[in-house]
Every structure is written in structure tokens, then in C-alpha cells.
């Protein structure tokens, strides 16, 4: 599976040098992990799509995974506000301008995606993403760069 995907990506790069990859896939597990420590959003992308695949079997009540993008400086504050917002809000603070984009919690076997406008990002800015499920913040996170 991984080999096949790598070949597809290489093929794409050779066949369409001018076309940027404006999406990223993240695969999460029942072991509270995911496979993407970094994401780069190419400067050419007007929009960017993140797809979160929960490859496990557990329901979101016990092992849900979501994806929240903020400036790195805002991450801890948004995580705390998300705890206060509770499960009914996917542990994401509603209407919070610090949240650049988010994917609601998914259960094992589910995939959910979000597409956001890259005009929300500054070149050279420091962005981070994390899973808002309680207790996951410490290990399920990553850095996002633009440009
Ligand atoms: Co998680």
C-alpha cells in the first residue's frame, strides 16, 4: 500500500511538474497515533485539503480523532478552550478565530476532510495541528508550513 502510494506521488511529480500537491492524507490508529508529523502547503495552492482517515475500529466516544489547525502560538490555548467546549462540539471551540480549519471527530473506519483557503496562511508563519480528543494533544500533533 505504502509502496504503491509513493510510486503514484513520484509519477505525478514527473508528469505534471507545474502542478502542486494541494492535499494531504493523515492516517490515524486505535493506538493514539497518526502518520503525519509535518505538512507543507505549497505556495501555488489556492486551497488545501486535509483528509483524516481513522484506520482503527474504535468509536469516537473512546478513540475519536479530529484535526485542528492553529498558529503554533495559539495551539495550547485552543486545546484548553476545546476541552471546555466538550464532546458535543468535538472538543473544538466554536466561533474561535484562532481556529484556522478543523475536522470533527471521526470513529474507526471513517474518513473526513476539510478544505481551507490558503489566504488564511502567511508565508513563513508557524502553524501547528493537533487532535482535540482529550489526552491526544500531547502525542497527536504536527507542524504545518506554507510556501
Ligand atoms: Co486522536
- Ligand 1 centroid to Cα of residue 63, in Å, is 7
Q: Which fold is adopted by the domain 21-146?
A: Immunoglobulin-like (2.60.40)
For 101-124, the three-class secondary structure string (H helix, E strand, C coil) is: EEEEEECCCCEEEEEEEHHHCCCC
User: Per-residue pLDDT averaged across 23-42, rounded?
Assistant: 98
Share of the chain above pLDDT 90, in %: 86
Query: Cα(133) to centroid of ligand 1, in Å?
Result: 5
Q: pLDDT tens, 82-128? A: 999 999 999 999 999 999 999 999 999 999 999 999 999 999 999 99
Prediction pTM value: 0.87
CA–centroid distance, 106 to ligand 1, in Å, is 9
- Ion ligand 1, residue ranges at CB < 5 A: 65, 131, 133, 136, 140
Mean of the per-residue pLDDT values of the chain: 91
Amino acid at each position: 500500500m505504502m509502496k504503491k502510494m509513493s510510486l503514484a506521488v513520484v509519477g505525478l511529480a514527473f508528469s505534471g511538474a507545474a502542478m502542486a500537491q494541494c492535499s494531504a492524507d493523515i492516517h490515524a490508529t486505535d493506538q493514539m497515533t497518526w502518520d503525519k508529523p509535518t505538512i507543507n502547503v505549497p505556495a501555488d495552492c489556492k486551497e488545501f485539503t486535509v483528509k483524516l482517515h481513522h484506520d482503527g475500529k474504535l468509536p469516537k466516544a473512546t478513540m475519536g480523532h479530529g484535526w485542528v489547525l492553529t498558529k503554533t502560538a495559539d495551539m495550547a490555548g485552543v486545546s484548553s478552550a476545546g476541552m471546555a467546549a466538550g464532546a458535543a462540539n468535538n472538543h473544538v471551540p466554536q466561533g474561535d478565530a484562532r481556529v484556522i480549519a478543523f475536522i470533527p471527530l471521526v470513529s474507526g473506519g471513517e474518513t473526513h476532510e476539510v478544505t481551507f483557503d490558503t489566504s488564511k496562511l502567511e508565508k513563513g508563519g508557524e502553524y501547528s495541528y493537533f487532535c482535540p480528543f482529550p489526552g491526544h494533544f500531547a502525542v497527536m500533533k504536527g507542524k504545518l508550513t506554507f510556501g
